[in-house]
Amino acid sequence: MKKYDLMLGSVLLAFCMLYGYLASQMNVRISTYPMFVVTVLAILILVLLVRTCMKNTADENFKLFGKVQKKQFSIVLGLCFLYVLLIDMVGFYTTTVIYLGASLFGLKVKKSYILITTLGFSTFLYLVFDIMLKVPTPKGIIF
Amino acid sequence: MSDVIFGFSQAFTFTNFLAAFASVAVGIMIGALPGLSAAMGVALLIPVTFGMPKDAALITLIGIYCGAIYGGSITAILIHTPGTPAAAATAIDGYQLTLKGSPGKALGTATIASFCGGILSAISLYLFSPPLAKLALNFGPAEYFWLSIFGLTIIAGVSSNSMIKGLISGCLGLVFSTIGMDPMLGEARFTFDISYLLSGLPFTAVLIGLFSMSQVLVLAESKIQKKSQSANVKDSLLLTVSEMKRITPTVIRSWVIGNIVGILPGAGASIASFLGYNEAKRFSKYKEEFGKGSIEAIAGSEAANNAVTGGSLIPTLTLGIPGESVTAVLLGGLLLQGLQPGPDLFTAHAKVTYTVFAGFILVNILMLVLGLFGCNWFAKIARLPDSILIPTIFALSVIGAYAINNSIEDVWIMFIFGIIGYFFTKFKLNPAAFILALILGPIGETGLRRTLIMHHGDIAPLFSSTISWVLIILSLLSLLSPIFMSKVEKLEGKIEKG
């Protein structure tokens, strides 16, 4: 975990510097509090980095993302991204049906279950959000 | 008193009864599904409750909370997989009873003990909430500043594996809470000329992203495996009179433990359950049965973790300091309904508050009924594979994030914070501390700046009142709490090893 904590600390420190820079560009009347908060954050990150450096390296072989099923994870994340991207263009319910079907297929669910889950869950969402709660879901070009 | 009676009459109306029934059932399902948490369930359901009357909405969220804490015990007992971390202690003896062919007795004990723990915690909810809320009447800007600091230190210091990471998570939340209009002067900060960001980050979308979508990614990273077949419950769930007599002292002891742990913010149900288990063993006449299928062990852990529910609602509703991640999410639901924690809840909104309190009792009664009659069915639901959960939870997250403001931008924010939440999990940061800071950040900032403006930049008034000093001392104590928590964790380790 040591390597990853150092990585985390470095990324967060870079974020602090960017945030501090942006805050310094603002009017001093509104930037004092953000500057104070980011300074505290930077100090805490430095404490994390120092403590991590002082740790022994017993877990050197530990891989944070070692057990991640890369292909499966990419499919899920990719489909989630496409789903959100297409909602406004195609319409919420059409996109939901396509997303559910594609995801279940990608996750190797039996065909009969794909059909039942996709239709059943889309109908459930329609009944709860459209009929019951009257949420004006994006219609897009289809539905 | 009239508000209390009114609360009972309102809680049992058809709408509230239905809300309680449905939410407890959904909560038990969420709790029974390993990998899904009570916080995630409440976060997902907040948008659904948005259009409901205030009392029904809050009863629904509390129903999910209580149901999920109890639901975790079903899979803990039947397949030795705790649905929630709070049921980890229950799994030890619960599963042993299942192996001995008495899953019904284990489930019955868990259900009855959970019910007793929950119902008894309602007493503290009624007794301690109003006086604590009255105390908040004495709060000025300086006290609100220290209250927000206290809120941050407790959750950041206790509920994370590493205190420094908990504090970093809280500070990150504070940083993100500065996005939007300056609370005192109304000038834009970190909005990059995007008008959508002027009102700050959409709280519910961030919440759903951090707690629900991140869970989707966590489920997606592991190999999807078929879930174990659970044992069929053939024996009776009802306990005999002698068994009831045997677990009664344990239940009462665990109620006290759970309540105290619940009121003390930061500790949570999982710690309470292990403490309840340990105390049950310490006082038991049948110590040798522990670890081999003791009903006292199950009662000890289950009564304690359900007693936390009422206890943790006390600081949440009165001071706006949630005891754990679920109540941090629940606080979001409360704010979304336009209700501010504090004395107003017991004066201007007393009717709603006491209806919710009575709803809390109703929820526990329904939990008992559903638990005794439906646990076989819930056990079957728990076998729902992750491959089905992944897309359905994400679709719910999307519509949930959208439904609050009917805004697609909110969905993108949810998506971004879902990915951030995933990295929070991987790097062992604390999403609850982040969320709490997002809520408390503006309160603290306004308190601090108002005090400084009122006293022309002098910081002495920040330290002038007794309440401020009490809050400062409590904040310091909570920063020392990891020492206590490491002892509790050692205890958990000992218990798990048997």
Q: In the 3-class helix/strand/coil scheme, how is B265-297 assigned residue by residue?
A: CCCCHHHHHHHHHHHHHHHCCCHHHCCCCCHHH
pTM of the model: 0.81
State both tokens at B342. 């504090």
Count other Cβ atoms within 10 Å, centred on residue B50.
Answer: 18
Percent of chain B past pLDDT 70, that is, above it, reads: 92
pLDDT value at position B444?
86
DSSP state of B428: T
Chain A interface, mutation test: which of B164, B387, B405, B445, most A Cβ atoms within 10 Å?
B387
- Chain B partners of A25 at a C-beta cutoff of 8 Å? none
Interface of B with A in 430-469 (CB under 8 A): 445, 448-449
Reported confidence tier of residue B493, pLDDT bands at 50, 70, 90: low
Buried b (16+ CB within 10 A) or exposed e, B391-410: bbbbbbbbbbbbbbbeebeb
Question: C-alpha A73: how far from its chain's center?
Answer: 12
The nearest CA of chain A is from the CA of B406 a distance in Å of 7
User: Quick check: A99 contacting B, CB < 8 Å?
Assistant: yes
Least trusted range by pLDDT, from B51-55, B156-160, B249-253, B477-481: B156-160
Scan residues 303-332 of B and list those with Cβ closer than 8 Å to A: none
> CA separation (Å) from B475 to B79, B440, B469?
41, 14, 10
Question: Of B25, B19, B26, nearest to B393 (Cα)?
Answer: B26
Average pLDDT score over residue span B413-418: 94
Burial of B154 (0-12, 13-18, 19+ CB in 10 A): buried
Decide if pLDDT at B399 tops 80. yes
Residue A98 vs residue B78, higher pLDDT: A98
CA distance A48 to chain B (A): 7
Q: What is the pLDDT of residue B485?
A: 64
Which residues in chain B are contacts of A136 at CB distance < 8 A? 406
Contact A109 B387 (CB under 8 A): yes
Q: Among residues 53-82 of chain A, which lie with CB inside 8 Å of chain B?
A: 64-65, 67-69, 72-73, 76-77, 79-81
Contact between B253 and B276 (Cβ < 8 Å): yes
* pLDDT at site B177: 92
Read off the tokens for B139. 């709060």
Please judge whether B190 and A72 are an interchain contact, meaning their C-beta atoms are less than 8 angstroms apart: no
Averaged over B353-357, what is the pLDDT?
A: 91
Of the residues B15, B163, B178, the best mutation for testing chain A's interface (the one with the most A CB atoms within 10 Å of its CB) is: B178
Give me the pLDDT at residue B34, please. Answer: 73
Query: Is B216–A133 a contact, with Cβ atoms under 8 angstroms apart?
Result: no
B76 burial type by CB count under 10 A (0-12 exposed, 13-18 middle, 19+ buried): buried
CB contact under 8 A, A137 and B402: yes
Cβ neighbours for B54, distance < 8 A, ≥ 6 positions apart = B337, B338, B339, B349, B352
Number of Cβ pairs < 8 A linking chain A and chain B? 143
Contact with chain B for residue A90, Cβ under 8 A: no
Asked if the model's pLDDT at residue A79 lies above 90, the reply is: yes
Mean pLDDT of A65-90: 90
Tens of pLDDT along B428-445? 888 888 888 888 888 888
Contact B390 A76 (CB under 8 A): yes
More confident site: B298 or A3: B298
- Name the minimum distance, in Å, from the CA of A69 to any CA of chain B: 5
Residue B492 has pLDDT above 90, yes or no: no
Picking from A74-88, B121-135, B408-422, which range would have the lowest pLDDT averaged per residue? B121-135
Class of residue B226 by CB neighbours under 10 A (exposed 0-12, middle 13-18, buried 19+): exposed
The C-alpha of B341 sits at a distance from chain A's nearest C-alpha, in angstroms, of: 25
Residues 6+ apart with CB under 8 A from B56: B15, B16, B19, B49
State both tokens at A134.
């009257």
What mean pLDDT is predicted for residues A41-65? Answer: 82
Contact call for residues B63 and B357 (beta carbons, < 8 A): no
Chain A residues inside the 8 Å CB shell of B448: 33
Please tell me the distance from the alpha carbon of residue B477 to that of residue B264, in angstroms, as a whole number.
12
Residue B321: what pLDDT? Answer: 79
DSSP state, residue B223: P
Tell me B86's DSSP state. Answer: G
Q: What residues form DSSP beta bridges with B181?
A: B188
Closest CA to B395 of A73, A100, A110: A100
What does the pLDDT read at residue B74? Answer: 87
Rounded-to-integer distance, Cα B284 and Cα B289, Å: 9
B51 touches A at CB < 8 Å? yes
Nearest-angstrom CA–CA distance, B78 and B377? 12
Count the Cβ atoms, other than its own, within 10 Å of residue B440: 29
pLDDT class for A17, splitting at 50, 70, 90?
very high
Quote the pLDDT of residue B226: 67
- Which has the closest alpha carbon to B447: B455, B420, B103, B272? B455
CA B170 – CA B163 distance, rounded (Å): 11
Cβ–Cβ < 8 Å for B346, B353? yes
* Cα–Cα nearest to B70, from B317, B298, B277, B356: B298
**Residues on chain A touching B390 (C-beta within 8 angstroms):** 76, 103, 107
**Strongest mean pLDDT among A134-143, B91-100, B415-424:** B415-424
**B415 lies within 8 A of chain A by CB:** yes
Contacts of A72 in chain B (CB under 8 A): 220-221, 223-224
Say if CB B176 and CB B436 are below 8 A apart.
Answer: no
**pLDDT by residue (tens digit) across B116-150?**
999 999 988 898 888 888 877 788 888 888 888 88
CA distance B287 to B465: 50
Q: Which of B323, B349, B330, B361 is nearest to B130 (CA)?
A: B349
User: What is the structure's pLDDT at B156?
Assistant: 65
User: Does residue B445 contact residue B182 with C-beta atoms inside 8 Å?
Assistant: no
Interchain proximity A30–B189, CB inside 8 Å: yes
Instruction: Report the pLDDT value the prediction gives residue B99, as an integer from 0 to 100.
Output: 83
Chain B contact for A6, CB < 8 A?
Answer: no
Residue A81 to residue B415, Cβ atoms within 8 A: yes
Among partner residues B168, B217, B427, which is closest to A77 by beta-carbon distance? B217
Count of CA atoms in the C-beta half-sphere (13 A) of B280: 35
Tally of CB atoms within 10 A around B194: 11
Position of tokens 């969905």? Answer: B411
Of the candidates B356, B335, B73, B358, the one whose C-alpha atom is nearest the C-alpha of residue B230 is B73
**Average pLDDT score over residue span A113-124:** 93
Instruction: Name, in order, each residue with C-beta under 8 angstroms of B436's C-beta and a sequence gap of 6 or more.
Output: B151, B152, B155, B156, B170, B173, B322, B328
**8 A C-beta contact, residue B316 and residue B322:** yes
B213 to A80: CB separation less than 8 angstroms, yes or no: yes
Which residues 160-189 of B are in CB contact (within 8 Å) with A?
164-165, 167-168, 171-172, 174-175, 178, 182, 185, 187, 189
* Distance in angstroms (rounded) separating the CA atoms of residues B356 and B7: 7
Angstrom distance (rounded) from CA B330 to CA B61: 7
Tokens of B192: 């990059």
Spatial neighbors of B276 by CB under 8 A, at least 6 apart, are B89, B250, B253, B254, B257, B258, B300, B301, B302, B303, B304, B305
